[in-house]
Amino acid sequence: MVKLMPILLALLGLAAGGGVGYYLRPAPVPVAEDPCGNATTDTAPATPGQSDEKANPDSEFVKINNQFVIPVVHDEAVVSLVLLSLSLEVTAGSREAVYQLEPKLRDEFLQVMFNHANTGGFDGVFTQTSRLTNLRRAMREVATSILGNVVHDVLVTNIVRQDQ
């Protein structure tokens, strides 16, 4: 009986796992038939290689050309440098407007980032969600004031802090 107990427990665990897996299985994808008689799925999931423009055709992403370099100053000495890369999510067809106003955008973004650095935004755990959300929100407000309502969001695509 002692040798039979581990086998019974293994079979019981296997049956319980199978039952839970059957109960929690995903719902089947609804299938509709087109007029030609071909079966098609109602909604096709996005493939990993699919571009963002296909997923959301009314917006596009514009990469700001150069990185931003922000010094972090304590006691009148530069203690670290923060390198930041940005992209803007804008209404489709607004790419040229962004590039025409890029010098003004860079100037205003730098001012926002300097203020963020001076208030301690790049100290400690600078990648904390609340800190980056505040920074992105401030940059989105600046971008909207310059470009208008074509700006949907400001994306931080790369951020690095180099301590000295």
On whether both 29 and 89 belong to a single domain, the answer is no
Q: Is the pLDDT of residue 161 over 80?
A: yes
3-state secondary structure of 99: helix
On whether both 12 and 73 belong to a single domain, the answer is no
pLDDT in tens, 98-116: 999 999 999 999 999 999 9
State mean pLDDT over 32-51: 52
pLDDT in tens, 69-88: 999 998 889 999 999 999 99
Domain membership of residue 8 (yes or no) is: yes
On whether both 28 and 61 belong to a single domain, the answer is no
Quick one: the chain helix, strand, coil %, rounded to 5? 40, 30, 30
pTM here is 0.64
CATH number of domain containing 129: 3.30.479
Domain membership of residue 47 (yes or no) is: no
On whether both 153 and 83 belong to a single domain, the answer is yes
3-state secondary structure of 146: helix
The number of domains in the chain is 2
Strand stretches in 7-150, DSSP E: 31-33, 39-41, 59-63, 68-74, 77-91
Domain membership of residue 103 (yes or no) is: yes
Domain that holds residue 36: 4-41
pLDDT of residue 117: 92
On whether both 106 and 132 belong to a single domain, the answer is yes
Query: What are the two backbone dihedrals, phi and then psi, of residue 121, each rounded to the nearest 5 degrees?
Result: -65, -25
